[in-house]
Structures are given as C-alpha cells and as structure tokens.
Amino acid sequence: MANRSYEDLLEPRRNDFNIWLWSTRALNTQVAVKMRPRPNPDDHKLAVLNSLKISEIIEQIGAKSNMDRKAIERQLMLILDEVGYTKSLKVIRYLSYILSKLLLKVCSGVYVNYQGLLKIKSTMGNCPVIFVPSHRSYADFVIFSYVFFHYDIEIPAIAAGMDFQGMTGVGEMLRNTGAFFMRRSYGDDSLYWAAFKEYVHQLVCKGDLPVEFFIEGTRSRSNKSMVPKYGLINMILKSYFLSQVPDILFVPVSVNYDRLIEENLFSFELLGIPKPRESTSGFFRSWKLVKESFGSIYFHFGDPISTREFFEDKFDRSKHSLGPIHLHEINEEEKRLIPHLAYEIVRRQQISSVVSYFNLIALILNNNITRGQEFTGMEELAQEIRILRGTFRCWGATIFEQDIHSAIKDSLKVHQNLITVGENGKIGLVTNQISMGAVDARKLKGHSLSEATISYSVPFMMLQIYANPVLHYFIDGALIVVALRSTGRLNEDDLFKHFRNLRAIFSFEFVLLETWYKTYFEEALHRLSSQKIIARRNEQYEIFENNYFEEVLISSIQPFILSYYVVAEILQTLPEVVEEKLVLASAQKLLEEAISERKIFIHPYAMSLDTLGNCLSTLVRMGAAVKRRREGRVMLSINRESIGGLKSDLETYLPSFQVIKSFDIFVHIKSKL
Ligand SMILES: CCCCCCCCCCCCCCCC(=O)SCCNC(=O)CCNC(=O)[C@H](O)C(C)(C)COP(=O)(O)OP(=O)(O)OC[C@H]1O[C@@H](n2cnc3c(N)ncnc32)[C@H](O)[C@@H]1OP(=O)(O)O
Ligand SMILES: O=C(CO)COP(=O)(O)O
C-alpha cells in the first residue's frame, strides 16, 4: 500500500529482534509546556485543594450543611484520588511491549501522517496542547498512546469515563498511563464538579503534559461523527478566556480502521441490545479476537487550531481583569463562541479521515441492495470501486494507492466474517443464526426484536457501519440531488432553501454548523456540476440522467430518510406526552413488521437507535418536541402540528425517488399503521 505521507510504525517493529530493547530504550520525550521543575501528578491534586475557588466552595458547603471544614476536605481528597492520573513509566514500557506483539499479530499496519505529527511535536513546548481524536473504538486511546511512545512525545493526560473504574486492575492500569476519570453527566454534586473543573484547570494551566479528550464523549456506534459535547472543552477554554494561558492549541485527530473490533457489538447496540458492562472478565474474553485479522489503522494528525487565532478579536478578554480571578467564570458571550470551535474540530477530524477500500465496497453493496439488484461480481466491483475512488479523491478524500484487485482481495479477507464470495463469483453477506439467550427486556433500549430479525439485520447494520464514515464527503451533494429529484428543476435560491431545510432536519445525523450551510451548498453544487451529476440550464439546476454516482448518493441517504419519516408518522399516533423509549420502540416495531414481510426491501439500518434518536434530537431542536426528565424517565411533549410539517417535508422529497421505489416503501409503511 502506498501513500508517502503516511508511515507504518509497525514496520520497524517487524524487523526488531528485540522489541523489549525498544520498549526499554532511553526516552527523551517532548512535553506540551516546558517547566522546571516538572510538576508531578500529586502537585495537581494539592493545587486543587489549596485553590481559592475550592476554598470558597468548601466554606459554602460547610455553611449549608454544618459539616466541618476538615471533613469536607477529606471528602475532597477522596474525589481527587478518584479523578487524578498517576503515571508509571514501568507500566507504559510493559504495555508498549505487549501492544507491539499484539498489533503485529492482528494488524497489517498502523499508519501515521508522521510529518503532521512531527511538525506538531516541533511546535510543542510553549502553551497547552490538547489532542482531540475521533472516537470509534476502545483501540483509539490505546494505540494513540502507543503512537506517542513511538515518536517520543509525552503520553497525554486522558479524560476517561468512569466505566473503566469498576474493572479490577484495568482501571488502575489506565490511570498509570495517564487516564484521569470523570463522571459521565453533570449531576448535582457541587463539590465533585467544582473539584473536577479545578483539576482540569490545573492540568491546562500548570501541567506540562499534553491533554487528550474525546469531544464526541462516547464511541460513535454508527462509525460517523457525532455532535460535539461542550462540557470538557468549556473547562479547558476557561484558562484561555481568563487570560491564564497565552494560547491553547487544539489538534484534531482522525482515527480510522479497516475493521473495528467492536463491529458486532455496535450492530447489536444500534438495534437496542445494550453493551455489556465493562469488566475484567469481559476484557479477557475479548482476547479471543487476537486470532482474527483487522487490517490497518490510520491516524491523521490535523493542523493545530490556535485558540488565539480562531477567536481573534471576537471577544474582549480584559473583561476578566477586574476583581479576584477565582471569582470569574466564562461569560455568556464566550460560551456562545465555544460551539464554533467544537464543530470546527469535528469538521477537521472528518476532512482528514482516511477512506479504506472496504468503505467503498460497503457503499457499493449497499447501493445494490437498496436498488433491489443482485450482488455484484468481482469485475463489476472493481469497476465501481474505480469510479468511486476517482470521485472521492476529487472530493478531497485520502485513499491509499493500491491495485484495486489486490485491495478487494485484502478487504474481503479482513471482512470474511461479513462478506462471502459464492461459487458463481458473486459477493454476498454472511448471515448467522443469532441466539440472544435471556436478554433482560428492561435493559433493552428499543423494541424487543425477534431473533430472526436480529439475525437478518446484523450483517446489514455492519455493512452500513462501514459505509457511514464516508457519508460526510457527499452528504451535501446527496441532499441537493434529493431536492432536485423531488422537484425536477430549481433555480439556485430555491434549491438552497430545500438544502437548508434538509440540512437542518439532518443536523444531528450529519454534523454541520448552521453558519456553514451556504459554503457547503456552493461547494457541493460545484462538485456535482464538475462531476456531471447536475447541470445548469437557463438559470435552473437539473439532474443528468443515468449517472452511477447519483444512484449511490440517493441510496446512501435512504435509510436515514426512512427512519425520520417513520418517527414523524408514529408520533401522529402516540399520546402527546410520551416516553422517549416508547417512541423508539414503536418505530422499530413498525419497521420490523415491514421488514419481516419481505415484500419490498427495507434496509434494517432504518431501525438504528442512533438514527431514530438523532431524529428526536432534531425535533427538540426545532421546537417540535420538548424533552423532560420525570422520575428517571425521559419524556417528550409533542407538538403534533410541527411534526406534521416535518412529515410532509419528508414526503415531498420521497415520492419522486422513482429509482429506489421509495414510494412503495412509504405506502407499505403507512398500511401498517
Ligand atoms: C505505549 C503506551 C500504551 C498505553 C496504552 C493505554 C493508554 C490508555 C489510556 C486510558 C485512557 C482511557 C480513555 C477513555 C476514553 C473515554 O472514556 S471517552 C468518555 C469520557 N470523555 C468525555 O466524555 C469527554 C467529553 N464529554 C464532555 O465534555 C461532557 O460534556 C461531560 C463533561 C462528560 C458532561 O456531559 P453531559 O452532562 O452529558 O453534558 P453536555 O452534553 O456536555 O452539556 C451539558 C449542557 O450544557 C450545554 N452547554 C455547555 N456549554 C455550552 C456552550 N458553550 N454552548 C452551548 N451549550 C453549552 C449543553 O448543550 C448541555 O445542555 P443540555 O443539552 O443538557 O440542555
Ligand atoms: O467512551 C468510552 C470510552 O472509550 C466508553 O464509553 P462508551 O461505551 O459510551 O463508548
């Protein structure tokens, strides 16, 4: 495989006679901020304990609860021990050895755009550096640290969810490699959150390690980007807004996999079967995966975003110069700026992703399935990959240069659990009869799907998981094509109105900030025109007929439109105040019935809880529903009229999809209601 911008960091290990010598080599690591003496992990905890901010909070809690100061301080120390990282070079060296052996066994390469990373390394030393990778797998943070160890960069302090704390031995091991632990949601424990925020503040202002966190907050089960969470980035940026550091560099990192270790679990989770709790025994059970092959992993380190340059003159830091600094918090004006940076990080993760050949194969097979065509043979597949590869590259994607036939062979070998080649040379999906055993119905997140549905659906879910990570390259083009298909011809202004509406409907599905809609629309128009998918005649845009890429655009978005339509439809029949879980379950139930009749093909991904949930988030953002927590349950109050509007919008776009017979699907779904 060739791409000169990337190097395979397993390559030198393959020829190492003694990996242990490499693991125990003398290290001369680059820190984020040069400091003498270097702070140690306990310094940060003590600094929190002694900070004026925390001192005041202790006083407030004492006054409210009548607890004495010493008792609150003891509570605080327990919190800090729960949160704080420790670091053991010995543990890191052992892990680097084990990981080398493991990666050599299961991966064909770990590719890194080393020039990008080395450039960042050379600029480190003067201000806090925050690495923000995409989050698709548990492997992300493990291999991330391995990459840093390889390039002699200090392993970052990493924000970790509490999920790992319960794993005997593993939690402490992660802590020893730099993990600091956080609760997953803002509760009402004011001491905890004050201590945690102050701890992060200390890491950023007084620490010398790079910091790493996952802005999406969780592994994306769909394998595509998720909307950013603002909590941790808020805490980090506070140091900048309050002028306590001159700048903060955010480095977006894209991590892509030929094959995800979690592909099976994620497919189940998308259907509603909850993830097993993280446990040490589960960790050891997962070792059976070492017998399998996972292809290559790609790390792309994007250009750092300087906070100072990003915000330029958008706000006035001098507002924080009056009064004691520990009394200052981020103000509303600053808070409003944060989503722009957060979305920019996600956008840069997306544009620096590496597209694998299996991503293309998944798109092609999905297109065949959706159009009700037979699966393709090898020659057709190679031809279609060639077309898609060319188009994707024109649209800015990085795809490694490789002979297409050997790329297909490698991909099918890595994904032999999902794809099979029949005696007739045609490609097909592997289906296994799945037995769910006793799944606790109370833990299900959606409808209790039958084993037959699950067995049928899992391979399709897996396939879509590999098509999803490339959708951001052409979602804007797909939405334009959808609008033109449903209307025939449109001038640019009207086409933009449709585009803006569709973009807003799918704003959680395909992450994009509203202020960028116009730019993305214009870029997509240009790309579609230069690829001869659409044409402009007499000031009107229309579609060129018989363009293969147009088919792919339309088929790739179809399961999403279907899910949204079903939610809108079902909300017309459910009570106006309804539990969120019931909406998800009802939508899945309806789709399950339609799928199991097999009269027409309905892509099982339409049952994805991720997509159905995104639709509900859209409804809340649009004001068509209000979300409230009541006695531990999430309730939705529905505005039927607004939802009716969304439903009729979706209907406008759908019936004219002659090519994919969507109309049949909708008539069919309706008849089930
Ligand atoms: C060789 C060596 C080998 C070594 C080998 C081993 C290495 C091994 C290392 C181990 C390493 C483990 C690594 C594990 C990796 C994870 O565990 S990843 C998971 C944990 N990390 C994270 O979650 C980080 C990101 N998460 C966050 O930042 C979340 O915000 C928090 C802090 C968790 C809070 O979450 P939350 O309560 O769900 O709240 P969130 O949605 O963020 O927002 C709160 C509200 O404030 C609003 N808000 C806040 N700020 C804003 C704003 N600026 N503008 C608008 N709204 C705002 C939000 O909209 C939201 O409002 P509502 O939607 O509730 O109305
Ligand atoms: O995000 C995590 C750390 O990788 C673990 O939590 P999830 O299972 O929600 O992804």
For residue range 492-550, what is the model confidence (pLDDT) as tens digits? 999 999 999 999 999 999 999 999 999 999 999 999 999 899 999 999 999 988 788 88
Is residue 646 within 8 Å of residue 624, measured between CB atoms? yes
Distance 505 CA to ligand 1 centre (A): 24
Please identify which residue in the block is written with the tokens 């399935």: 369
State which of 132, 163, 181 you would mutate to test the pocket of ligand 2, scoring each by most atoms of that ligand within 8 A of its C-beta: 163
Kindly state if the Cβ of 136 falls inside 6 Å of ligand 2: no
Ligand nearest to the CA of 212: 1
Give me Rg for the CA atoms of the chain: 26
Closest among 232, 165, 233, 168 to 196, alpha carbons compared:
232
From residue 515, alpha-carbon distances to 22, 395, 500 in Å are 49, 21, 11
**Is 329 touching ligand 2 by the criterion CB < 6 Å?**
no
Nearest ligand 2 atom to the CA of 141 is 4
Q: What average pLDDT does the segment 373-383 reach? A: 83
- Name the residue of 230, 236, 627 whose CB sits within 8 Å of the most ligand 1 atoms, as the mutation to test its pocket: 230
Sheet with 633-638: list strands edge to edge.
577-579, 633-638, 625-630
184 lines ligand 2 (CB under 6 A): no
With cut-offs at 50, 70 and 90, classify the pLDDT of residue 279. Answer: low
Q: Taking CA 314 as the corner, what is the angle to CA 312 and CA 318, rounded to the nearest 5 degrees?
A: 90
Q: Which ligand lies nearest the alpha carbon of 161? A: 1
Identify the pLDDT of residue 608.
97
Enumerate residues lining ligand 1, CB below 6 A. Answer: 92, 95-96, 99, 141-142, 145-146, 149, 155, 158-161, 174, 177-179, 182, 184-186, 213-214, 217, 229-232, 234, 335, 338-339
| CA torsion through residues 532, 538, 539, 542, sign | negative
- Nearest CA among 244, 144, 147 for reference residue 160: 144
The ligand with the least distance to the CA atom of 213 is 1
349 Cβ neighbours under 8 A, 6+ residues apart: 132, 133, 134, 225, 252, 253, 254, 302
pLDDT above 70 (res 660) = no
Task: Give the C-alpha separation, 492 to 309, whole Å.
Answer: 34
Kindly give the distance from the C-alpha atom of residue 217 to the centroid of ligand 1, in angstroms, as a whole number: 4
- Average model confidence (pLDDT) across the chain: 90
Nearest CA to ligand 1 atom 7: 142
Rounded to two decimals, the ipTM of the complex is 0.93
Q: What pLDDT is recorded for position 658? A: 35
How far is ligand 2, taken at its centre, from the CA of residue 221, in Å?
10
CA of 9 to the centre of ligand 2 (A): 26
Element at 422 (helix H, strand E):
none
pLDDT > 80? residue 72? yes
Judging by DSSP bridges, how do beta strands 540-543 and 249-257 pair with one another?
Answer: unpaired
Distance from residue 459's CA to the centre of ligand 2 (Å): 23
**Cα–Cα nearest to 426, from 367, 379, 372:** 379
219 CA: nearest ligand 2 atom:
10
Ligand closest in space to the Cα of 179: 1
Distance from the CA of 184 to the center of ligand 1, in angstroms? 7
Compute the distance from residue 218 Cα to the ligand 2 centre, in Å.
Answer: 4
Q: What is the percent of the chain with per-residue pLDDT over 90, rounded to a whole number?
A: 70
Q: What is the distance between the alpha carbons of residues 419 and 414, in angstroms, rounded to a whole number?
A: 9
Instruction: Please tell me the distance from the alpha carbon of residue 438 to that of residue 376, in angstroms, as a whole number.
Output: 38
The predicted structure's pLDDT at residue 597: 82
Sequence letter at residue 636: L
Check whether 375 has a pLDDT greater than 90. Answer: no
Q: Say how many Å lie between the CA of residue 231 and the centre of ligand 1.
A: 5
Q: How confident is the model at residue 669 (pLDDT cuts 50, 70, 90)?
A: low
Is residue 561 within a helix (H) or strand (E), and if so which, with residue range?
A: helix 548-571
- Cα 340 from Cα 371, distance rounded (Å): 38
What does DSSP assign to residue 165? G
Q: Tell me, using a 6 A CB cutoff, whether residue 282 lines ligand 2.
A: no
Ligand number, closest to the Cα atom of 197: 1
Are the CB atoms for 551 and 655 separated by under 8 Å? no
Which residues share a beta bridge with 177?
Answer: 87
What pLDDT, in 10s, does the model give residues 185-243?
Answer: 777 788 999 999 999 999 999 999 999 999 999 999 999 999 999 999 999 999 999 99
